[in-house]
Amino acid sequence: MSKEIRTRFAPSPTGYMHIGNLRTAIYEYLIAKSQNGKFILRIEDTDQERYVDNAREVIYETLQSVNLKYDEGPDIGGPYGPYVQSERKAIYKEYAKKLVELGGAYYCFCSKERLDQLRKGSESQGGVFEYDKFCRLLTNEEVESRLQNNEAYVIRQKVPETGSTSFEDLVYGTITVENQTLADGILMKADGMPTYNFANVVDDHLMEITHVVRGSEYLSSTPKYNLIYQSFGWEIPTYLHVAPIMKTSEKKLSKREGDASFQDLLEKGFLKEAIINYIVLLGWSPSTNEEFFTLSELKEQFSLKGLSKSPAIFDINKLKWMNGEYLRRMSAEDFHKVAIPYYKEIVHCGIDLKKVSLLLQHRTEILSEIPEKIDFLAELPNYDSQLYINKKMKTDLVIALNHLRASKEELLLLNQWKHDEIEGCLTTLASKLGVKNGQVLWPVRIALSGKASTPGGAVELAELLGQDETLRRLEVGIFKLG
C-alpha cells in the first residue's frame, strides 16, 4: 500500500499574499489533490518582527477565495496540531535538546559583543560573516556548568566539517553540497523561538509531510535540513524546488518595489480565476497546447514532469490578455455581476446597465478599465473639437457641423427610441446626403461621448443616453462647431 501524499503550504503572516507564495500554494495543492492526498496549511510565525496583525485572516481568506481547500490547518484543526509555529515552542525545545544529545547540534553561549567583533573582522577583510564554531569545542562539563548558571544560549547545528551531502530534487535532479561550505546556523534562538531552518524540519516530520515545494533559492541550504533529518533518523521528504518568478530577466518580483500582490491584482480588476490560471503556467507546462484551465481541470492535468528549471517572467500584458479572455467567455449575466461595482458613476443616470455590460464585455481586459470607458455616460466631458476630424471617415469640421444639424432634425422626429429605429434613421440620412454611413455616425459619436474611443458606436450610445439627452448633446456639438 502506497503512502498517502501530504503537502503543506507554510506562509509567514506578513500581511499580503505574494504571487510566488500563491503559486507555491497552488503547486502544493495540485500535487496532493491530483493523487488523492492531503493539503495542509501551517502558519510559520517564528520571525515575530515581521508579524502583521490580521495577516492570518488574509491567508485564510485568500486560500478560501481561490478554492484551495486545505484538509488541516489552524482554523479547522487536525490530528497534527497546533498548526501555528509560535504555539509549538515546547515541541521545538524538546527536539532541539534531543538533537544535541544525538550529536547533531550544540549549545552556543557566545555574547552579542563577541559575535559583533567577529562580524566586523570578517567585513574588514571583505569576507562574509561566519560563526567560528568556538562553542563547538566546549566540553560537556563546561556546557553543563554554564547551563546551571542560567547563561543565555542559542542552539546551533553541528554540521560535519568534511564530506558532502546530496539529495534528489524532482525538478533539478541530484544536488550535492560540500559540508565545509555550510555554516553552523542557529536552530533555537535565545528567546526560545526556533529558526525557520529547524522548525520546518520538525514540523514536516511530525505532520508526515511527503512532498515539499520550495523556491530554488533554498537548493543550497536544503542539505542542512537533510542533515537534521539524518541525525534524528527520520525519513527525508521528496523535494521540488521551483524557479523564481521574475519581473525581468535579472530582477525578482518584489512587493517592496511596488510589484503587485494577489490582493493588488484583485483590486486592479483581475479575476481570481484568471490570476490562478496564469501563475500556474509560470513554471509549469501542460502536456497539451491548452492555456485555459479551471482548478478542477488542473487537478486532472497537473504533472510534476511539467515543472521547469527556468525562471518565469511575470508579464502583466499576458495576464491582461488572459483576463480579457476570461471576461469574454463569461455568460452575459455573470459579466454583468462582476461589472456592476464599477458602474457607480452612472448607476443613477437612468441608463440600462445591462445594455452597458453587453457593450463592455468584449471590449474590456480588466474590470478597473470600466469607469474610464463609461464616464462620459454620466457627464459629457469638455472635449476638443478636433476630434470631429477623421481622415478615415473623411470628416472635417464643416462636414461634422452639417451632419450634426441634419442628424438632430431627423432624430427629433423619431417616435420609437430603439436601436433599429435609430440606426435606420441615421443610415437613411447618410443615403439621402449621398455619403458613407461613417460621415454621419462619426460626428454623432463624438458629440455624444466627447471621445474617439467608446465601448459602442453612435447608435448604441444614443440608445443608452435616451432621446432627450442625445438631442441635448447634439446641440452642444453644434454649438461647439458653429
Q: pLDDT tens digits for 299-317?
A: 999 999 999 999 999 999 9
Q: Which of 69, 255, 318, 355 is catalytic?
A: 255
Taking only the tens place, the pLDDT of each residue in 358-403 is 999 999 999 999 999 999 999 999 999 999 999 999 999 999 999 9
DSSP H or E run through 39: strand 38-41
Q: How confident is the model at residue 212 (pLDDT cuts 50, 70, 90)?
A: very high
DSSP H or E run through 197: helix 196-206
Match domain 380-481 to its CATH number in 1.10.10.350, 3.40.630.30, 2.120.10.10, 1.10.1060.10. 1.10.10.350
Q: How confident is the model at residue 10 (pLDDT cuts 50, 70, 90)?
A: very high
Residue 423 exposure: Cα atoms within 13 Å on the Cβ side: 7
Under CATH, which architecture does the 88-242 domain have? Answer: 3-Layer(aba) Sandwich (3.40)
Question: Is 451 an active-site residue?
Answer: no
CB 43 within 8 Å of CB 54: no
CA–CA distance, 297 with 308 (Å, rounded to integer): 20
Question: What is the predicted pLDDT for the residue at 185?
Answer: 95
What pTM, to 2 d.p., does this model score?
Answer: 0.89
**Phi then psi for 35, rounded to 5 degrees?**
-125, 25
Q: State the CB neighbour count (10 A cutoff) for residue 476.
A: 16
CB 185 within 8 Å of CB 195: yes
Picking from 60, 20, 67, the residue whose alpha carbon sits closest to that of residue 42 is 60
Q: Which residue has the higher pLDDT, 51 or 309?
A: 309
CA–CA distance, 256 with 15 (Å, rounded to integer): 13
CA–CA distance, 146 with 141 (Å, rounded to integer): 9
Task: Parse the chain into domains and list their residue ranges.
Answer: 88-242, 257-334, 380-481
**CB within 8 A of 334, min separation 6: which ones?**
none
> Does the domain at residues 257-334 carry the CATH identifier 1.10.8.80?
no
- Decide whether 257-334 matches 380-481 in CATH topology: no
Query: Which letter does DSSP use for residue 235 in this model?
Result: P
Question: Which grid cell is 445?
Answer: 459619436
Q: Which residue has the higher pLDDT, 379 or 1?
A: 379
